[in-house]
Structure 1
Amino acid sequence: MAFDRDLQPTAAVRGNLQFTHSGLVTATYFVEPLGYGLRRGSDKFDVKAAHHALVTSLPDGALLLGIQARLNTLDVLTKMVEGVDLDTCEDYADEVVASFERMRAIGPRTRIHLLSIPVGAGNTGISGLARVWRGSTTAVDATAISRAELDGYAEKANEILSRIGGDFDPVPVPASLFQWLWEHYLSRGAVGDPVAPARAGALDDATAAVFRSAALDEGARSDGNRRLRPSFVPVIKVVQPDFEYRPSYQAMLTPHSFPYSGMVFPGGSEFLTVLEAMENVTVDWAMRIATRSADQVLKNNELNLRRLGDQMDQRDQEVSFAQNTLAAKAQMLGEYNNHFEVNSGESEVSFTTVIAVGGPSREIAMDAVNTLKRRYKRFQVELAAPVGAQVDLWSMFVPGSPPRRAFDDFAHIVPSDMWAGFVPFTTSQVGDDSGPVIGVNLLSGNFEPIHFGIMEAALHDFSASFAVTGELGSGKSYFLKLMAVLVHDMGGQFLALDRSQVGEWEHFAGTIDDAVVIDLADPAVSLDPLRLFDPRIAGERALDSILPLLDLSPTSGAGAAASALLSVKGLAEHGIRSMLDLYRTARRLRGDGELAAEYADLAARLGTIVERVPVLFDPDLPPLRLDAAATVVRSHRLALPSAEELTTPHLYQRLPLTKRLGTALYELVGVAAREAFLSDNGRFGLLVGDEAHHFTQTQVGAAVTSDFSRDGRKHLAAIGLASHDPATDFQGAAHNLVPNRFVFRQRDEVLARNSLSWLGVDLEEAPFLLQVLREETSPPVGVGRRVPEERRGEMFMRDALNRIGRGKVLGPARPDRAAAITSTPTAARQTVP
């Protein structure tokens, strides 16, 4: 199995600078991939433009890498606890511990994007250092490299990065990444494949790297199959002397040809996305780049055209197909030349792409190879596994590797504009950089955890408010309860309005310490705004809710009388401290003065509801206090108007008193939560409303939604809303200011279109997503039309950075928490008074 190639070129490492035996010096960087996923076409063209600037600025020999590796579970847990004091949040600490085993079982992966660029020729003395590949484990002493030399290489690298721009946010890799890459390549897809390093902290910033020795057995001859020559078998068996029992079987693939007619962007050119969602194997890609300017291309085209003309002259008397072939080549060359003449900023890109498939056995690796070949046929891309060139292509993944013949043999030449359509540095990641894990990413195929840093968003100047839509039984309420329990466990508080007849939120709150449940139809507390709020704002808050309830205009006679009584001056002058005092004062004033008639009208209107609404007029009830960890307000026995009644003027004018009353109480709960949560009390507050139109379609509710969306980040607060139809319910602030959006199953076509449009998806560009949402998102199956356990919680989402993806909500990792938000009591078990 031995061979005499030096496949590890590194002689010394200083930070992200690599010095090779051949004298080449490279600088390697982490690259931040650009959000792609399900974004609109206009956004994708911006991503293409960034890649165009990248490729036209890269020096010849630049290496682009996309390395797939298992996520480090401890890194996931570290992100979960960022900003949370686990000493005071024991419930959340238990959730994090329970998440450890769940993450290990899921086995999420990620793709690390790297850029390695040559920055000069190093000290020739380095080439005489001991060869690391030959089994030496002695670290190379890099102290001979002077500071002036290092500064010169760094300056050259910064000059290149400056031309590229900041779209990809390049960050220098630590020195030990070179060792990590090497160990990953030797164990690709096998048992010893190391977990992915985090951008910071997972690897030590050493000044040298120690590389394991290994043998690359092309053709896997050591397996005993000697009937086939190694050059006929496109597979490499990588064996490490210290780990012979866990070899890695790898195959190197490269595009043999691309579609003759080109690849349409977006949607047809992103051929590297095919590599995701491969089971049981690890798939990496590498792309080596060389560019030529438009002037060079035009000069070469002239020379090539002259040669074609000479050949055509030599064959002008010949009757054969060759004449037609030469004419076709001349036409193509003319079109190619015209492209560069018209686009002065263009350049020509020569690129070699290698796709590495690694697995624990030869059979698994070759099955994956055949799967990839079938997938690429849909792109009209012919994928080849060149026999005899496997080791050469394998070496292209190693930064600093010298050019080999295979790199040129399998190179393709395209204009830089076409190359930019490949958009290799992209990601389908959604969610936040930290926070609790709410689910896994389905769009990327790697099942990366989706973090939702609802309590951290304010610290990063983002709104933590969110909205959910979906049909009945799709998972909206489950998700709302998930977010509520996470907020509670992380030390926050929440208030939820429970409209369900069976009291699912009341049942859920029963599992939380310090929870308060309030029934507005049988109140134990008062929502009297004059008792709830500070006297400076109490009258204003009362007016906002009472005037619509009494069908009064603030400028009408009785409305003006109420406004005068509820002013700060009026409250003090008449000693009004409660709604009952307001009623008594109006009755007392109805027989005196110029406004006697107006006070009489106001007293009469108030008199119709005094006895009906103890939650507003009973002075013996204590006022609502929102200092509990969890508050559930049951409104199931309130009559509430529909969204149509709230948005249609003539229907709103005919609303019965019971529905006006229900709306007023609903609004008062929201206003009370706003006053309590949008204050600097040092505790995060979440207001949850499952009937979104009552918060978005009324003046007071819209103001509450707007205040939470705009100012929640300043005061550690957020609002969570749910609806069946976002086109009707999520207007105004709920549409413009709520950044985090979730769409669960919606089988109705109209509502599904409304949901995807609200999410930001352009169905003209991606019409297939409508079918995915209606038929392939948590689909009910079988005789009972139930959703299988493994398919529950599937959804589309849009995060605070406007990235759109598809995921699956996991729910709490703690069994007791999962049971609390999953189980819903039946009506028969409820004792409704």
Structure 2
Amino acid sequence: MGFNRDLQPTAAIRGHLQFTHSGLVTATYFINPLGYGLRKAGDKLDVKLAHHALINNLPNGSLLLGIQARQNTIDVLSKMVEGVDLDRCEDYADEVVASFERVRAINPLTRIFLLSIPVGTSAVGGISALSRMWRGSTTTIDATAVSRADLDKYEEEANEILSRIGYDFDPTPVPAAMFQWLWDHYLARGAVNDPVAPTQIGALDDATAAVFRSAALDEGARGDSNRRLRTSFVPVIKIVQPDSGYRPSYQAMLTPRSFPYGGMAFPGGSEFLAVLEGLGDVTVDWGMRVSSKPAETVLKNNEVNLRRLGEQMDQRDQEVSFAQNTLMSKAQMLGEYNQHFEVNGGESEVSFTTVIAVGGATQDATMDAVNTLRRRYKRFQVEVTAPVGAQVDLWSMLVPGSPPRRAFDDFAHIVPSDMWAGFVPFTTNQIGDDSGPVIGVNLLSGNFEPIHFGIMEAAFHDLSASFAVTGELGSGKSYFLKLIAVLVHDMGGQFLAIDRSQVGEWEHFASTIDDAVIIDLANPSVSLDPLRLFDPRVAGERALDSILPLLDLSPTSGSGAAISGLLSPKGMEQHRIRSLLDLYNVVCRLRDEPGELEEYADLAARLGTVVERVPVLFDPNLRPVSLDAAATVVRSHKLALPSAEELTTPHLYNRLPLTKRLGTALYELVGVTAREAFLSDNGRFGLLVGDEAHHFTQTQVGASVTSDFSRDGRKHLAAIGLASHDPATDFQGAAHNLIPNRFVFRQRDETLARNSLEWLGVDLEEAPFLLSILREETSPPVGAGRQVPEERRGEMFMRDALNRIGRGKVLGPARPDRGAAINSTPSAGGHAERESEVLL
């Protein structure tokens, strides 16, 4: 069961520099994968071009790795609390603690991408044979014999290579302990003792060297069979570590035998490494060893090969056989291949060997995953094989610094570099932010990584935290808005939400928050009079924004000019106007004075129609609203508001009744008030939530509020969250161009679904299948009651601040009490009932 060859090539390590027993020196880097997912073909082409620059400048013998491992639950929680003072945010601390069991139950995975490049040779390989014994050695030898000048030389060579590659992938040197982690992972791949991923920055930096465990590799798992089958009969490796309780890992090494004869279309048909995710209880890693030749060398070799083919054809000129046809076919392909390099001067020829390593806790689990992968690859017309007798050799290829073995050449393929670039191995389907509360899990990647939404951290990274949501009734929009609002509250921020629902779902939700304030615009307890709310230097201007549309006045009309004069700083000081009621009284006084403008009579008549109807603006006994509470809900359910069509159609807008004009003015005033309160440097994050997006995007004042939150929110720790049924109508202007974070929930109407995906950034001509996924496979109602199963609720599409597009599932709060608060809404009779858009 033992194995007598040296599979761990490391002799010494200095940081990310590895010195091998054979004398090779390598430099290993973390690679930041490029966003891929559901982006447009043009964006994916940029990713391919980055890979093209990568492969054309890698030295021969470079190793590319994609390592799958379990995420560390503590790392996930650490990202949740980044930038949050838990001593001041006890509610959020409880949320993080409650998230521990949920994250552990989900068991999220991640993929770590590495690049190992040869940077020279060293005499360190000349150490004793005893130290090179793999099974007898548990430590590496410190490279004290390597001078600082030599280390600088290797670093310089590595930096020169990275400079040629470019910095699209942001290569970062690995710590010395990464080599140990990688080795431990390979020995326990897919087993219960497989180490968690070192995803937290600095998780391995405390180590200065690697200590490699010993293990026994049993090719063919002969130890499990009483018949002692020969290795060649079973393409599996059983790996047992004596110091790990003999919990074995069963691993199988797959490699492509052939690729489609007609080539692989990019994008969509060439990304053959993308099918490795979502295989259940196994771990799947991949490694690719690459070498390349410049175009000049390829052209010379093609001339020699073509000459040889010509000689063979001459020899068989009089022969009637299939061989003649085969030679002609080869000559034609060689000609096309040669023309490709003649036309594309920046090309190179890439020889690459790919190994897909599947590991599980049992042999059955591993072989089931192998068979699943074979079925998946049939759709790509790629044939994969698990070569018997070569499993250990292929296993060793994934170890950085491994010397070449025969199997590497036996299963190598040769393609032009632009075709290789279409494989785009260094890509990710990750969405969301690097830190922040966990709002859901990633469904597109197949690894169920937590989706972080760092809404309060975005400002520190110079990004906008504003977001917009769309979806049909009952799809999850309101639930999601309440989820983000409660997270903002729990992290020490404040929010203001406008509640249009007749049953008061936001009021019911806010009642579970200790310091919440409820404002009913129809039965007010506070005043929204802009002349009392805002600084006198800007109060008149703010009042004009609301009063002119309310009174149906143009700023250039006679009456409009008259009221503008009164609300100028000079006019307000002259007439001692401190409130809208003062304005009305002044207008009435001027109307009655002889010789004054006739426009004052018109103004008095217009203002007189609303003074008694709008106490929230004209009652002097109400105190001005102060948005200093952690949670404020403004109920606007009794206001008459225009539809989106009435706001966007000129002749309909001109005929709006007074009640709808009044409702729009008050709705806008709430937004303006929130803007003045939240877009100020008060050290507290503020979120404005509007479930009727068109009132913030289709009017001049509302569009200004949306634009200010989207543009300047990152400077003042503020954001706006909007929801709509139809983004094509409601999310225009700033809401379309400046709000980066976008969420699309179920939308079964074809037109609205198409509008939603186009707003998200998806090109439906390139990916028409996404339309049916959104309409039919996103939280689909099933059964006679047309209810969404619990496990399918909350599914959505998402576009994050980096313009990455993917699919996810919203989880909701981990705290049961918070979940219950946003998961129910009062009925008309006053009793709480479950929402139709409840999420888990």
What TM-score results when the alignment is normalised by the length of structure 1?
0.99
Supply the distance in 2 between the matched residues of 1:719 and 1:313 (Cα, whole angstroms). 77
Supply the distance in 2 between the matched residues of 1:589 and 1:783 (Cα, whole angstroms). 69
Return the offset for 1:140. 1.6
RMSD in angstroms over aligned alpha carbons?
Answer: 1.1
Match of 1:116 in 2: 116
* SS in structure 1 of the partner of residue 771 of structure 2: helix
Q: Deviations over 1:257-309 (max 9, x none)?
A: 00000000000000000101110100000000010011110111111111111
| Residues 830 and 604 of structure 1, relative CA distance in 2, 3 Å threshold | farther
Whether 1:8 and 2:8 are equivalent positions in the alignment is yes
| Residues 830 and 574 of structure 1, relative CA distance in 2, 3 Å threshold | farther
Match of 1:356 in 2: 357
Q: Which moved more, 1:554-563 or 1:34-43?
A: 554-563
Q: Does the CA-based 8 Å contact 2:222-2:228 persist in structure 1?
A: no
Match of 1:128 in 2: 128
| Residues 381 and 326 of structure 1, relative CA distance in 2, 3 Å threshold | same
Return the offset for 1:34. 0.4
| Residues 332 and 205 of structure 1, relative CA distance in 2, 3 Å threshold | farther
Q: Which moved more, 1:74-83 or 1:104-113?
A: 74-83
Q: Which moved more, 1:705-714 or 1:222-231?
A: 222-231
* SS in structure 1 of the partner of residue 626 of structure 2: coil
Q: Deviations over 1:501-547 (max 9, x none)?
A: 11010001001111000110111111111111111111111111011
**What amino acid does structure 2 have at the position aligned with 1:667?**
E
Return the offset for 1:189. 0.2
Gap regions ≥5 residues in structure 2:
833-840
Provide runs of 4+ in structure 1 moved above 3 Å. 124-127, 204-207, 593-596
* SS in structure 2 of the partner of residue 288 of structure 1: strand
**What amino acid does structure 2 have at the position aligned with 1:324?**
N
Return the offset for 1:128. 2.6
Whether 1:46 and 2:46 are equivalent positions in the alignment is yes
Match of 1:438 in 2: 439
Q: Does the CA-based 8 Å contact 1:175-1:205 persist in structure 2?
A: no
Supply the distance in 2 between the matched residues of 1:722 and 1:258 (Cα, whole angstroms). 46
Alignment of structure 1 residues 252-331 onto 2, 5 Å:
252-331=253-332
Return the offset for 1:813. 0.7
Q: Deviations over 1:6-35 (max 9, x none)?
A: 101101111001111111111000000000
Q: Deviations over 1:133-180 (max 9, x none)?
A: 123224422212111111111111111001000000000000011010
Q: Which moved more, 1:223-232 or 1:813-822?
A: 223-232
Return the offset for 1:385. 0.6
What TM-score results when the alignment is normalised by the length of structure 2?
0.98
Q: Which moved more, 1:11-20 or 1:133-142?
A: 133-142
Supply the distance in 2 between the matched residues of 1:474 and 1:126 (Cα, whole angstroms). 67
* SS in structure 1 of the partner of residue 217 of structure 2: strand
Q: Which moved more, 1:66-75 or 1:122-131?
A: 122-131
Match of 2:102 in 1: 102
**What amino acid does structure 2 have at the position aligned with 1:549?**
L
Return the offset for 1:230. 1.6
Return the offset for 1:594. 4.3
Q: Does the CA-based 8 Å contact 1:23-1:127 persist in structure 2?
A: no
Q: Deviations over 1:687-746 (max 9, x none)?
A: 000000000000000000001001111111000000000000000010011111110000
Match of 1:89 in 2: 89
Supply the distance in 2 between the matched residues of 1:124 and 1:456 (Cα, whole angstroms). 47
Alignment of structure 1 residues 172-321 onto 2, 5 Å:
172-198=173-199, 200-226=201-227, 228-321=229-322
Supply the distance in 2 between the matched residues of 1:225 and 1:632 (Cα, whole angstroms). 73
Alignment of structure 1 residues 329-478 onto 2, 5 Å:
329-478=330-479
Whether 1:662 and 2:663 are equivalent positions in the alignment is yes
Q: Deviations over 1:178-216 (max 9, x none)?
A: 010000000000000000012631113533211111111
Q: Does the CA-based 8 Å contact 2:350-2:414 persist in structure 1?
A: yes
Gap regions ≥5 residues in structure 1:
none
Supply the distance in 1 between the matched residues of 2:294 and 2:579 (Cα, whole angstroms). 80
Return the offset for 1:595. 3.8
Q: Deviations over 1:544-600 (max 9, x none)?
A: 101101111112122122111111111111111111111111111112254442111
Return the offset for 1:830. 7.0
Return the offset for 1:228. 3.4
Supply the distance in 2 between the matched residues of 1:742 and 1:135 (Cα, whole angstroms). 56
Match of 2:584 in 1: 583
**What amino acid does structure 1 have at the position aligned with 2:62?**
A
**What amino acid does structure 2 have at the position aligned with 1:557?**
G
| Residues 312 and 686 of structure 1, relative CA distance in 2, 3 Å threshold | same
Q: Does the CA-based 8 Å contact 1:68-1:112 persist in structure 2?
A: yes
Match of 2:60 in 1: 60
Q: Does the CA-based 8 Å contact 1:15-1:205 persist in structure 2?
A: no
* SS in structure 2 of the partner of residue 114 of structure 1: strand
Return the offset for 1:126. 4.1
Match of 2:679 in 1: 678
| Residues 418 and 212 of structure 1, relative CA distance in 2, 3 Å threshold | same
Supply the distance in 1 between the matched residues of 2:457 and 2:81 (Cα, whole angstroms). 10
Supply the distance in 1 between the matched residues of 2:92 and 2:790 (Cα, whole angstroms). 25
Q: Does the CA-based 8 Å contact 1:10-1:132 persist in structure 2?
A: no
Supply the distance in 1 between the matched residues of 2:111 and 2:672 (Cα, whole angstroms). 46
Supply the distance in 2 between the matched residues of 1:356 and 1:23 (Cα, whole angstroms). 27
Q: Which moved more, 1:574-583 or 1:112-121?
A: 574-583
Supply the distance in 1 between the matched residues of 2:177 and 2:588 (Cα, whole angstroms). 83
Match of 2:80 in 1: 80
**What amino acid does structure 2 have at the position aligned with 1:242?**
D
* SS in structure 2 of the partner of residue 52 of structure 1: helix
Supply the distance in 2 between the matched residues of 1:773 and 1:126 (Cα, whole angstroms). 62
**What amino acid does structure 2 have at the position aligned with 1:359?**
G
Return the offset for 1:815. 0.6
| Residues 403 and 594 of structure 1, relative CA distance in 2, 3 Å threshold | farther
Q: Does the CA-based 8 Å contact 1:502-1:830 persist in structure 2?
A: no
Supply the distance in 1 between the matched residues of 2:323 and 2:382 (Cα, whole angstroms). 27
* SS in structure 2 of the partner of residue 828 of structure 1: coil
Q: Which moved more, 1:415-424 or 1:294-303?
A: 294-303
Supply the distance in 2 between the matched residues of 1:738 and 1:472 (Cα, whole angstroms). 22
Match of 1:796 in 2: 797
| Residues 125 and 658 of structure 1, relative CA distance in 2, 3 Å threshold | closer
Match of 2:836 in 1: none
Q: Deviations over 1:83-118 (max 9, x none)?
A: 111110111111111111111000000000000001
Return the offset for 1:225. 4.3
Q: Does the CA-based 8 Å contact 2:20-2:125 persist in structure 1?
A: no
| Residues 95 and 703 of structure 1, relative CA distance in 2, 3 Å threshold | same
* SS in structure 1 of the partner of residue 214 of structure 2: coil
Q: Deviations over 1:394-447 (max 9, x none)?
A: 000100000000000000000000000000000001111111111111110001
* SS in structure 2 of the partner of residue 824 of structure 1: strand
Supply the distance in 1 between the matched residues of 2:703 and 2:536 (Cα, whole angstroms). 23
* SS in structure 1 of the partner of residue 687 of structure 2: strand
* SS in structure 2 of the partner of residue 827 of structure 1: coil
Whether 1:22 and 2:25 are equivalent positions in the alignment is no
Supply the distance in 1 between the matched residues of 2:283 and 2:831 (Cα, whole angstroms). 53
* SS in structure 1 of the partner of residue 623 of structure 2: coil
| Residues 595 and 759 of structure 1, relative CA distance in 2, 3 Å threshold | farther
**What amino acid does structure 1 have at the position aligned with 2:70?**
R
